[in-house]
Structure 1
Amino acid sequence: MNYEGRMFGRQDRLEYTGEETPRRSRRWIWILGIAIVVVGIVAVLAVSRKDGAAPKGAAKGAAAAQGSSQNPTVTVAVPGKTTMETVVTGTGSLAARREMPVGVAGEGGIVTRVLVEPGSWVGAGQVLATVDRSVQTQTAESLAASIRVAQADLRLAQAELDRAQRLVANGFISKADIDRKTAARDQAQARLRVSQAQFSETQARNRRLDVRAPAAGLVLTRQVEPGQIVSSGSGVLFRMAMGGQMELRTQLAETDLQKLRVGARAEVTPTGMSQTFTGEVWQVSPIIDPQSRQGIARVSLKYNPALRPGGFASARIVAGGVTAVVLPQSAVQSDGQGNYVYTVNAQNVAVRAPVTTGDVTEQGVAITSGLSGNERVVLTAGAFLNPGQKVIPNLQKLK
């Protein structure tokens, strides 16, 4: 009995303990589930708030980015002022600045010797070629003899006159005899002068048989050979360049010719050469060809073997200079209202600025009025801008 009672009592206690444990477990399970649900709800609410705020911020950023992307980026520069040379270019032929044609000045005859060649330097009066003078030499000797005869006659007439003057005081000779002897003496003097003049003339003619250089210079061409018969009608035997000076005769348009002045610096480059020769304008044509509307500018050059008369060359003439704002041609726009450029003000807004243009050279376009040089000038894309448009300037330096 006691054993069973103890057994039943233990069993009761065991059964009681088994029921109480599942109840507690279920309660804790419910509490944990509710907590998980609450945490999930809180998490969902937080995520939804973030998702709602993100599109709004993204929209604002996208709008700002879209607004900034609508403003074009343009290249600008502050040009300042530049001294720009006014350059006139032209082409023409090389020639002697002072060309001297040399021919026969005397009677002519058979050429015996030619003493110079093309490219020779000669002095003033130097003999270039000689002509046979055998006949003229005999004539000169005859005249020299007649001079000696006239001198002898003069001496005799003077001696007779002197004797007569000593005897006239004693009455041996009349006054009329003195007059006749005086006349004879004067006639002898006149004949001597005539003979001397004829001899001088012959000597001068003989000297003219030699072909001589009229001035110092460079022999350019030779058109005579020994044995050739020449005369005053034979034409040019030699051509010379006075002092060896050369020049370029360039044809220029009427508008370019108006810019040139005597003394303007020039650079001449012969065709087929890279070497450049410096010179200056020494003459500007006073007339314009009515057909071609062109004139000639003559550029003097010092002698150089590379400068050959008849050759072709180009010239670059500096006609002057001006200090002005210089812009590339891409910066200058034009419409019905005239020429203009775009500048960018402090607020990065494009502003249309009317300008007056000057000469166009390799450096660019000269702006004579409308700009001070301190503005930010749009160099490119000006044709796509509008006044008052917002831009993004990209500052660069002009070369």
Structure 2
Amino acid sequence: MNVQQGKWSSDALEVETLDDAALARRRKRRNIILAAAVVLVALVAAVLVFGSGKSGDDPAAAAKAGEAAGGAGGQTPRVSVIVPGRQQVVRTISATGTLAARRDMPVGVAGEGGKVVRVLVEPGQWVGAGQTLAVIERAVQTQEARQLAASIEVARADARLAQQELDRAQSLVGRGFISKADVERRIATRDAANARVRVAQAQLGAAQARIGRLDVRAPAAGLILGRNVEAGQVVSSGSGALFRMAQGGEMELLARLSQEDLSGITPGIPATVTPVGSSQSFQGRVWQVSPIIDPQTRQGNARIAVPYHQMLRPGGFASAMIRAGAVDAPLLPESAVQSDDKGNFVYLIDQNNAVVRRDVTTGEVSDQGVAIMSGLNGNERVVQSAGAFLNPGQKVQPVRATAR
């Protein structure tokens, strides 16, 4: 029992001795770490001392350090400013409207009408002036014309007979067989026969003209837009339009514009027309400006003529960009223009580098920027961006940026 106890005690002493050694090693490591930390702090202090000395020698570095310190401490912020100047800004008016034929011509029956025998054209077909579009049955009118032609021959025969009788009477009047009164009667008979010939000829001409009017003809060269007649149909002058055609194939856009925009448009200015659903645009010109304004909508029409193209279909919808001249105005990026319940405004930097609010009136907005129609002369220093973080009267450090 005593040996085991002694062995146990010996083991216990050995374990205690190992714990002390581990503790010594840990203390040694801690001392090394503390020494390294002291060395590191000394190095940082040296770097700060030398760095501060260099920044004092370098004005640019000192300025940067001051700016950083100012930014960290809430001091005067730096803002980019722009001096826009003035330049020519093209004024563009956007509009939408309906495509139509510039001269939409309804074609109907000019004569007495009848049954349609043939229809010779289809929508989308080009026709010339006077070309036959449809033929109406004319059997009765043809027989009447033949009858009148025969009556002319009868009248001519009577006129020849009257002339011969007059010639014989004139040869006998010198011998005393025929009185002068008889000669005069034969002259009148001859003249009346010639007159009947002319009457018959006129009647035949009228009949032929009526036959010619039975053909439905194109009044001018152009494009057939619609057809409202079929073979076998009975038509008359009261049947309405049998065909619709665009004179010369010319199209137009009836652009709806406000009264204000309409006042800035004159005939002859260029425009670009883009049909809905198409990426292709067509060049045209305003050829007529509505002389009246609709009292209900307060709008009017600007009629833009465009050459024919198969994508320009009457009745379709299209948009237009009308170039209504140019104006000399400052041009600012969109980031410089702000708005609130009082309207549009910009921030300026005055001679004391203080922020000043300036109300402006904007004009044309394009990829180049926003045209300022009033409120700026162009030589002011305008805050280019970040105006929402500024307040009127605030001091700033302006940095000149390049105008667009």
| TM-score w.r.t. length of structure 1 | 0.78
- Output the CA distance in 2 between the equivalents of 1:96 and 1:336: 45
Does 1:350 find its partner at 2:354? yes
- SS of equivalent residue, structure 1 residue 232: coil
Aligned residue number for residue 272 of structure 1: 277
1:171 to partner: Cα distance = 2.0
Aligned residue number for residue 363 of structure 2: 359
180, 191, 208: which one aligns with 2:213: 208
The one-letter code matched in structure 1 to 2:363 is D
The one-letter code matched in structure 1 to 2:264 is K
Residues 133-180 of structure 1: CA deviation (Å, up to 9, x unaligned) = 111111100000101111111111122222222322232211110110
Greater shift after overlay, 328-337 or 164-173?
A: 328-337
Could you say if the C-alpha distance between residues 114 and 153 of structure 1 is closer, same or farther in structure 2, counting changes exceeding 3 Å?
same
Aligned residue number for residue 132 of structure 1: 137
1:384 to partner: Cα distance = 4.7
- SS of equivalent residue, structure 1 residue 146: helix
After TM superposition, the structure 1 = structure 2 runs for residues 379-394 of structure 1, keeping only pairs within 5 Å, are: 379-382=384-387, 384-385=389-390, 389-394=394-399
- Output the CA distance in 2 between the equivalents of 1:336 and 1:200: 80
After TM superposition, the structure 1 = structure 2 runs for residues 193-342 of structure 1, keeping only pairs within 5 Å, are: 193-332=198-337, 341-342=346-347
Rg larger in 1 or in 2? 1
1:373 to partner: Cα distance = 3.0
Greater shift after overlay, 381-390 or 91-100?
A: 381-390
On the 8 A contact 2:100/2:315 being kept in 1, the answer is: yes
Aligned residue number for residue 27 of structure 2: none
- SS of equivalent residue, structure 2 residue 192: helix
Greater shift after overlay, 332-341 or 63-72?
A: 332-341
Aligned residue number for residue 191 of structure 1: 196
Could you say if the C-alpha distance between residues 339 and 157 of structure 1 is closer, same or farther in structure 2, counting changes exceeding 3 Å?
same
Aligned residue number for residue 180 of structure 1: 185
111, 114, 118: which one aligns with 2:119: 114
Say what the alpha-carbon RMSD is for the aligned residues: 2.9
On the 8 A contact 1:133/1:206 being kept in 2, the answer is: yes
The one-letter code matched in structure 1 to 2:354 is A
On the 8 A contact 2:362/2:374 being kept in 1, the answer is: no
On the 8 A contact 2:255/2:302 being kept in 1, the answer is: yes
- Output the CA distance in 1 between the equivalents of 2:376 and 2:83: 11
- SS of equivalent residue, structure 1 residue 180: helix
Aligned residue number for residue 30 of structure 1: none
Could you say if the C-alpha distance between residues 293 and 199 of structure 1 is closer, same or farther in structure 2, counting changes exceeding 3 Å?
same
Greater shift after overlay, 166-175 or 150-159?
A: 166-175
Could you say if the C-alpha distance between residues 381 and 141 of structure 1 is closer, same or farther in structure 2, counting changes exceeding 3 Å?
same
- Output the CA distance in 2 between the equivalents of 1:315 and 1:116: 33
Could you say if the C-alpha distance between residues 175 and 234 of structure 1 is closer, same or farther in structure 2, counting changes exceeding 3 Å?
same
Aligned residue number for residue 167 of structure 2: 162
Could you say if the C-alpha distance between residues 158 and 265 of structure 1 is closer, same or farther in structure 2, counting changes exceeding 3 Å?
same
The one-letter code matched in structure 2 to 1:70 is Q
- SS of equivalent residue, structure 2 residue 98: strand
- SS of equivalent residue, structure 2 residue 330: strand
1:289 to partner: Cα distance = 0.8
On the 8 A contact 2:360/2:376 being kept in 1, the answer is: no
**Ranges in structure 2 where 5+ consecutive residues have no aligned partner:** 1-44, 57-61
Residues 175-234 of structure 1: CA deviation (Å, up to 9, x unaligned) = 110110011011101111110111001000000000000111001111111111111122
- Output the CA distance in 2 between the equivalents of 1:261 and 1:105: 38
| TM-score w.r.t. length of structure 2 | 0.77
- SS of equivalent residue, structure 2 residue 238: coil
On the 8 A contact 2:363/2:373 being kept in 1, the answer is: no
1:314 to partner: Cα distance = 0.9
- Output the CA distance in 2 between the equivalents of 1:302 and 1:339: 41
**Percent same amino acid at aligned positions?**
61
- Output the CA distance in 2 between the equivalents of 1:338 and 1:224: 60
- SS of equivalent residue, structure 1 residue 361: strand
The one-letter code matched in structure 1 to 2:91 is T
Aligned residue number for residue 41 of structure 1: none
On the 8 A contact 1:268/1:278 being kept in 2, the answer is: yes
The one-letter code matched in structure 1 to 2:288 is Q
On the 8 A contact 1:355/1:367 being kept in 2, the answer is: no
The one-letter code matched in structure 2 to 1:120 is Q
Aligned residue number for residue 87 of structure 1: 92
Aligned residue number for residue 11 of structure 2: none
